[in-house]
Amino acid sequence: MNDMEYDDNAVGCFCTFIEGWRGYSEGEIIEDCGTQYVVRLSSGHELTVSRDDVMVCF
């Protein structure tokens, strides 16, 4: 897969934020919304982030 392709199986995978968010650097992808992911942090907080803002750990 090249850098411009997206994987449809990212739900359930962990990801790392390109730029940290309020002290958090990683989370779990819980929903794929097309061009965005919903990511759950260890605190339980959920964020909607652009696919370009995270690196998915498969």
User: What is the predicted pLDDT for the residue at 58?
Assistant: 85
User: What is the predicted pLDDT for the residue at 36?
Assistant: 97
Domain 14-57 CATH class label: mainly beta
Q: Where are the domains of the chain?
A: 14-57
Non-local CB neighbours of 28 within 8 Å, separated by 6+ positions:
12, 13, 14, 15, 39, 40
Cα distance between residue 16 and residue 28, in whole Å: 9
Whether 5 shows a pLDDT value over 70: the answer reads no
Give the containing element (helix H, strand E) for 47.
Answer: strand 46-50
pLDDT band at 3, cuts 50/70/90?
A: very low
Could you report the per-residue pLDDT of 13-47, keeping only the tens digit for each?
A: 999 999 999 999 999 999 999 999 999 999 999 99
Q: What's the pTM value of the predicted model, to 2 decimals?
A: 0.82
Single-letter residue type at 39: V
